[in-house]
Amino acid sequence: MEKSSLDADCALNMVLVEEKKGHLIPNGNAHQGVNGTLNGGPVSAATGAISAVEKRQGYPERETWTRQMDFIMSCVGFAVGLGNVWRFPYLCYKNGGGVFLIPYVLFIFLGGIPIFFLEIALGQFMKAGSINVWNIAPLFKGLGFASMVIVFFCNTYYIMVLAWGFYYLIKSFNSTLPWSTCDNPWNSENCIEIFRHSDCHNGTIGNATFGNMTCEELANGRSPIIEFWENKVLNISDGLDQPGDINWEMVLCLMAVWVMVYFCVWKGVKSTGKIVYVTATFPYVVLIILLVRGVTLPGAYDGIMYYVKPDWSKLGEAQVWIDAGTQIFFSYAIGLGALTALGSYNRFNNDCYKDAFVLAFINSGTSFFSGFVVFSILGFMASEQGVDISKVAESGPGLAFIAYPKAISMMPVAPVWAALFFIMLLLLGLDSQFVGVEGFVTGILDLFPGKYYMRFQREIAVAICCLLCFIIDLSMVTQGGMYVFQLFDYYSASGMTLLWQAFWECVVVAWVYGADRFMDDIARMIGYRPFPWIKWCWSFITPCVCMAIFLFHLLNYKPLTYNNVYVYPWWGEVIGWCMALSSMLCIPVSLVYKLAGSKGTFRERWESLTKPVWGAHHLEYMAPDTDIKSLTSLSPGTEENKVIIFESVM
C-alpha cells in the first residue's frame, strides 16, 4: 500500500481478504464522493483510504451534474413528452372536461409524486443505475432487470414517432403542404379536399369540382391528410402477416434521428445536461406561439370550452378514475429506471424531495396547458368543417399526424405553422428518447466492475444500444410496420407493465428494506424528514392504487385492433404478451432463482439476500454513530471481489 493507506492503518485494521459478512466494499463503479466529511478521525481515515484504493485500482469517478438545474431540465425533458400533448387533452375532454382534474390531481398525490420521488431518491442514495440501485435489497434485483427490459422496448419503438415527425417536418418546407391537396401520386380517386356538411342541400352538393354528388356518396370520401398518412408515410399493408417493402425515405429519417440521439448521449451527463436546455425549453416557446395563434382563430372559444366544461356525472364512472391513474404513471415516466439513473448523478445531499414537487408541477401543468393549445386549433377545424368537435378530437398519433396537420393546412401561411409544430414535436420526443437511452446505458455500465473499465466504453455502449434498436426498428418502416409499432406500444411498455413495476418498487422499499429506514436515509441526504404521508403512500396507498388499476386493466383486457377494424391474429397477440411478460416475470423469476441458489433455512436465506450492499460513498456520509459493521458486501464467494474491510478502533 501507498503511504496514505499506511496512515489509515493507525485508525483502522485494513486487510485484503475474501468476502466476509458484515463489511463494506467499494462499489463496482467506484462512485465518487462529494464534498462532505464525518466527525471522528477513524471514519475520516477510512474515507481517505478507500479513495486511495480506488485511484490505485483505476476506478473511474462517477459523473455528477455540473449544475443542479441540469438535473431539473433533464427530468423535465424526459418526463414531459408527447403524451402530455397528445394524450392528456383527449382524456380530459373525454372524461368530463374540468371534472377530470379532480381524480387526476388526487392520483398525483397518491401515486405520482410518491413513486417519482422514490425513484429519484433511490438513485441519489445508491448512486447507481436502474439495476445496481436494487442493491438496497439484492433479492429483488429483478426489478432493475425488469425496468431495463421496459426502457429498451420503449427506446426501440418510441423513436418511430420522431422519425415520422422528422419526415413531416421535411415535407413542411413546401409552399403547399403535400397533405392538403388531392393531386399527389399517392392520392386515390376518393380523395376530397374540402367538404362541409353545411354545403349539403337536399342531399346534393352543388360544386363543380365534385359534380352533382349526394352526401351519402361524399361520406365515402377520404381526406388528403389521411391518404398522406396511410398511403405515403406508412404505405400500410392489409395486416401484420404482410410486411411488404421497406420505405427507404423513412429509413433515412430513422437513421437521422438515431444519429441525433447518439450524439446527445455519447459523452454522458456533462453534455446531456447542456442539450436539454434547448430540447426541454424550446417546445414551451412553440406551445405559447401556437396558443396565441390558436385563440385568434374562429371557433377557438368553442374548442376550449369543450375541453374544460365540467360534466359532473362523469365522476361516477370507474373508467374516468382509471384513465386518471394510468395517465399519471404514463406521463411521470415511472418504472422505466431512467429517473433513477438521472438521480444517481446528483450530489448526495441534493434536496430531491423539493425537486420531486417542482417536477410534478411542471409535468402536470404542461399537460393542462397543452390542452388549450390543442383544442383551440381543433375548435377552429370543427368550425371550418361545420361538424361537432367530437368528430375531430383524437388522441395519440391520430392527433399529431392527422387532426393537427389537417387543422394547420387550413390556416394562412400553413407551412410556417406546420414547421413550428413538428419542430416542437421532434424536440418533445427527442429529449425523452435520449434520456431513456442514457438510463439504459447507465444501467448496463454499472454492471461492469471498475477493473473492466476501458477508454471510450460509454461511446461504444451507446453505439451498440443505438445500432441494436435501429435494426429492430427496420421492422417498423415496412408496409406492415404500423402493426409492429402498435404491438410494442400496446404490450411492451403498457399500463400493466408499468403498474406492476411501480407496485413492486413500493413493496420492496417500504416492506423489505423498511419505509422508516429509507426515510432516515433521505433525512441523512437532504437534512430533514419528508412529510409522513410519503411513507404512508409507499406502505399502503400507492401499492393498493397500482394493484387496483392493474387488475382493472387485466379484467377489462381487449384484443388489439388497428383503427377498430383490423383485428390482430392470435400469434400477434402471443408475441405481444411475450413482450409484456419478458419484463413482468423478471421479478418473480429472479427472486426464486436467488432463493433456490442460497443455502440455509428460508429465514436465513431471506435475511442474507435482503441485506443492502453499500457503496464507498455511503461510508463518507454515514453518521458517526452508525454501526459500520451493518454494512454488507457484494457477490459472496467470488474470486474477483477481494474487499477492503474497515473496522473502527473506536
The series of mean pLDDT values per 10 residues for the chain, 650 residues long, is 40 33 37 33 39 44 82 88 84 85 92 94 91 93 94 93 94 90 85 62 46 57 85 90 91 95 84 84 90 89 87 87 88 89 90 93 91 88 79 75 85 90 90 89 81 74 94 94 92 88 95 94 91 94 93 88 87 93 94 91 91 82 48 37 29
Beta bridge partners of 648: 12
In the chain, the largest separation of any two C-alpha atoms, in whole Å, equals 101
Q: Binding-site residues, please?
A: 77, 79-80, 84, 331, 363, 428, 431-432
SS3 of 213-248: the string is: EEHHHHCCCECHHHHHHHHHHCCCCCCCCCCCCECH
Q: Which three cell numbers stand for residue 191?
A: 380523395
When computed from its CA atoms, the radius of gyration of the chain, rounded to whole angstroms, is 27
pLDDT of residue 30: 36
**Nearest-10 crossing angle of helices 414-445, 248-265:** 60
Residue 576: name the closest of 485, 461, 468, 441 by CA: 485
23 contacts 629 by C-beta, under 8 angstroms = yes
Q: Which three cell numbers stand for residue 411?
A: 390556416
Residue 467: name the closest of 159, 222, 180 by CA: 159
What's the CA dihedral at 320, 322, 327, 328 to 10 degrees?
Answer: 110
pLDDT of residue 38: 34
Neighbours of 638 (CB within 10 A): 10
pLDDT of residue 195: 56
pLDDT of residue 180: 87
pLDDT of residue 194: 66
pLDDT of residue 458: 84
243 contacts 237 by C-beta, under 8 angstroms = yes
Q: Binding-site residues for Na(+), please?
A: 77, 79-80, 84, 331, 363, 428, 431-432
Task: List CB contacts of 221: < 8 A, sequence separation 6 or more.
Answer: 190, 191, 192, 195
pTM of the model: 0.83
pLDDT of residue 449: 65
What's the CA dihedral at 566, 223, 257, 76 to 10 degrees?
Answer: -90
Beta bridge partners of 214: 204
Burial of 219 (0-12, 13-18, 19+ CB in 10 A): exposed
